[in-house]
Amino acid sequence: MKKSIVKFFALSALVLFAACSSSQTKPLPKPFITGLYTADPSAHVFDGRLFIYPSHDRVSTAKPDNNGSQYDMVDYHVFSTDSIDTPVTDHGVALALADIPWASKQLWAPDAAFRNGMYYLYFPARDKENIFRIGVATSEKPEGPFTAEANPIAGSFSMDPCAFIDDDGSAYLYFGGLWGGQLEKWKTGTFEPSGREPGKLAPALGPRVARLSGDMLSFDSEALEVQILDEQGKPVLAGNNRVRFFEGAWVHKYRGTYYLSYSTGDTHLLVYATSDNPLGPFTYRGVILEPVVGWTTHHSIVEFKGQWYLFYHDAAESKVDHLRNVQVARLFYNRDGTIQPVIR
């Protein structure tokens, strides 16, 4: 009798575990956003609802090159949902290139933030001199429409802005990207058209970070380089292209630790580093996501309704590198704070 009872409870526990495991591994929508080609998803939770701020891919006749000429985007749409498992709402065009006085082309990866009762959309674009700058637009609603400031943020350059507001209210903007993003042309602090990446044995270039002013419209400090160290505590070298920063910086905080995640570019990895200071230095920790279909990927990490998620993009649907779709995967941390590699 006792053995039967033990078997009964053991079987019940096994069934319960299987049910929980099944719930945790329930497939997520693929792709997460349909109807438009979208990429570079910046995910945020505002008033309990999940908002996605991606770039908007379109068909281009430009020949692909290292400057990203084929990524010729001209507007932004904002998407939202109240559940990760239900279809998203497309709120339409939130900001168009034609409405940005200083910009000439290529509305690449944006980000968003909320403060002072206002929503802010940070975005890169090439100015009239073909130099990437970062602009900011505002709206009273998270879905927009957004109104762009007449000029880019003074002191800004390159691409891939990431806005981060710390627990103490301090706000930062991280940005930068190599090759098409022109970061290597700003090594001296002045734009040099012939600027190149450092040699393979020299320290790699890191993203930039600047404090944002109280009104979130300008820099309150000089843009500083974020240093990334290897696992031995030495600066990551430019030749270490499985670890070095390339583009797509994203900063989030988990249990008091700052996480800087980014794309390695030509090795097609998403990796991360950690620090106890939002300004760094950050120490490399490992890979979050292995290569996907497409040349590179760009991501964000957010907690929504008690679960952490990785948003990224790939070209699995179109098989065309510049026609991408936003994807989502659950993200898990180990007890020591390290991130478990995402299984797709």
Active site residue 247: yes
Q: What is the pLDDT of residue 25?
A: 54
Active site residue 140: no
The three-class DSSP label of residue 327 is: strand
What is the DSSP code (8-state) at residue 265? S
Rounded (10°) CA dihedral 52, 324, 249, 211: -50
> Buried b / exposed e across 179-210, counting CB within 10 Å, b at 16+?
bbbbbbbbeeeeeeeeeebeeeeebbbbbbbb
Q: What is the pLDDT of residue 63?
A: 87
Domain residue spans of the chain: 28-331
Q: How far apart are CA 218 and CA 78, in angstroms?
A: 23
Q: Which is catalytic among the residues 230, 247, 290, 317?
A: 247
Output the pTM of the full model. Answer: 0.92
What CATH number does the domain located at 28-331 have?
2.115.10.20
The rounded average pLDDT for each run of 10 residues, N- to C-terminus, in the chain (344 residues) is: 40 38 62 97 98 96 89 97 96 98 98 97 98 98 98 98 98 98 96 97 98 98 97 97 98 98 97 98 98 92 98 96 96 98 89
From 317, 320, 319, select the one nearest 31 (Cα to Cα): 317
Task: Please state, as a whole number, how many other Cβ atoms lie within 10 Å of the Cβ of residue 30.
Answer: 14
